[in-house]
Structure 1
């Protein structure tokens, strides 16, 4: 009898491992928001989630620094055939792997058919056994988000409660109007002065809702966005199709946020 239960459990694990991962992108405004993002990912992994973390920040202000790890290779190098997927992986902690994705973000902007095919195959391998992908999104110099981040099912704008971070968040929210999300998730993240931060965040939400058509939803943790992503997840191929479709569109007519 015990063997039967073990077989059922193993079968359930195999079934779950084939489910498409939920994909959430995070725009971290302020150093506190960056630490919050790392802490949220660690909490999910410690709770039993299998999390893949993709960091589009190439140098200063990246998640590797916060988590005390340093990837040697970028996922873009895997897609380009320079290194193996295993060489690009860094185990940040049990249940959480970190991949540098700055080069990948740039590469998708000029992807040809071969690059697209290799990207799709790489992501299929990554999807096996993972149930949550978190993309630390980093706009480029022209304020464009990568197609990788734009394809995420949910976007969190994380604000650390400083006036500078709130101003940055408002600018990004304005420029996201007309993008792929009708609703954005907003989090007060790593705030040193909670009362002041709450007041600034309330004002940000009020002004943003007056000045844009975007709906803003206040959240207190990554899990709320992951749950919403699960509802709209679709198949794993659907996410890859969105990434490559957005990349192809951007290569024809590059679109900066807010244009």
Structure 2
């Protein structure tokens, strides 16, 4: 896969409504980030949004496992030149599109920054009508996480009621702000015992960020600790499909409703924003790359 140093796209006609690209991230692992990505994407899909779920946890991917899918190709095959990005597309439940990553491929965690940008560029190969894309990132502050968050319109940082989760979430937000120029972040509290706990987690994080960072945090809401969610994981289904009336399902639908009402940022945030600009280009738009 050829990786250009810089890429610009020009549309041959006025663009339709932009595709909303939502990056889901977390400071530490084990906070339920992938479960959030899967259920948010599924809730958006069920609400009539044409949705693609992209797994960019390049070394320990598991979205395909969580949805009971058996991919023929993954992003590892794209980087190895065995297929094009469009060949990795899987049709999941209820018409949800999924692009799976690889699991157990350590070299995929050691990609160079230009390779991450190249992967973003590879989306110029896709010709799939979309309303929204949900990007499930790896935990932490690796370059790939930062690149995909920078390329998205909105970033959701998932936290839970653990000191390390809040501390690492702050570290992630700090790096996104200072190194990638991201100035607004949505915070989602996961696995809470009660609604007040989610707000307390947000307030704790917001107090620190407002003091030291030029970032606006918004409280997206909370997902309750739910036995039905655990059962859905065992069934390899999204809880919003397996148990629609479960407390977690109700919460995910509310999060999806809020996300669909977000206003788009007024302009590009960085050089990787061509990711979004290619997605909003109409079919037949010309893509011209320049070194």
Assess if the C-alpha contact under 8 Å between 1:50 and 1:130 holds in 2.
yes
Q: Matched residues in 2 for 1:243 and 1:147: separation?
A: 15
Q: Matched residues in 2 for 1:146 and 1:72: separation?
A: 28
Q: Secondary structure at the match of 1:189?
A: strand
Q: CA deviation at 1:152?
A: 0.8
Provide structure 2 residue ranges, at least 5 long, that are not aligned to the other structure. 1-12, 222-254, 279-291
Q: CA deviation at 1:83?
A: 1.8
Q: Does 1:110 align with 2:114?
A: yes
Mark the CA change 1:127 to 1:186 in structure 2 (over 3 Å): closer, same or farther. Answer: farther
**Which of structures 1 and 2 has the larger relative contact order (alpha carbons within 8 angstroms, sep 6+)?**
2
Q: Secondary structure at the match of 1:219?
A: strand
Number of the residue aligned with 1:180: 181
Identify the range of structure 1 (206-215 vs 171-180) with the bigger mean alpha-carbon deviation: 171-180
Q: Matched residues in 2 for 1:137 and 1:216: separation?
A: 19
Q: Secondary structure at the match of 1:130?
A: coil
Assess if the C-alpha contact under 8 Å between 2:147 and 2:272 holds in 1.
no
Q: Matched residues in 2 for 1:31 and 1:68: separation?
A: 21
Scaled by the length of structure 2, what TM-score is found? 0.62
Assess if the C-alpha contact under 8 Å between 1:24 and 1:226 holds in 2.
no
RMSD between aligned alpha carbons? 3.8
Mark the CA change 1:171 to 1:185 in structure 2 (over 3 Å): closer, same or farther. Answer: same
Number of the residue aligned with 1:256: none
Provide structure 1 residue ranges, at least 5 long, that are not aligned to the other structure. 1-14, 245-259
Q: Does 1:228 align with 2:229?
A: no
Select the structure that is richer in helix.
Answer: 1
Q: CA deviation at 1:192?
A: 3.9
Q: CA deviation at 1:155?
A: 0.8
Assess if the C-alpha contact under 8 Å between 1:174 and 1:212 holds in 2.
yes
Identify the range of structure 1 (218-227 vs 98-107) with the bigger mean alpha-carbon deviation: 98-107
Scaled by the length of structure 1, what TM-score is found? 0.68
Assess if the C-alpha contact under 8 Å between 1:56 and 1:136 holds in 2.
yes
Task: Give CA-to-partner distance per residue, 1:25-59, whole Å, 9 cap, x none.
Answer: 11045433432222111110111111111111135
* Matched ranges for 1:144-183 at <5 A: 145-178=145-178, 179-183=180-184
Q: Matched residues in 2 for 1:159 and 1:141: separation?
A: 15
Number of the residue aligned with 1:96: 96
Q: CA deviation at 1:136?
A: 1.1
Number of the residue aligned with 2:273: 239
Q: Matched residues in 1 for 2:115 and 2:277: separation?
A: 11
Mark the CA change 1:198 to 1:33 in structure 2 (over 3 Å): closer, same or farther. Answer: farther
Q: Matched residues in 2 for 1:144 and 1:88: separation?
A: 19
> How many aligned positions are there?
224
Q: CA deviation at 1:132?
A: 0.6
Q: CA deviation at 1:195?
A: 3.6
Q: Matched residues in 2 for 1:226 and 1:105: separation?
A: 32
Mark the CA change 1:204 to 1:185 in structure 2 (over 3 Å): closer, same or farther. Answer: same
Q: Matched residues in 2 for 1:127 and 1:227: separation?
A: 25
Assess if the C-alpha contact under 8 Å between 1:53 and 1:134 holds in 2.
yes
Q: CA deviation at 1:156?
A: 0.8
Q: Matched residues in 2 for 1:85 and 1:144: separation?
A: 17
Number of the residue aligned with 2:19: 21
Mark the CA change 1:106 to 1:131 in structure 2 (over 3 Å): closer, same or farther. Answer: farther
Q: Matched residues in 2 for 1:158 and 1:141: separation?
A: 14
Q: Secondary structure at the match of 2:262?
A: helix
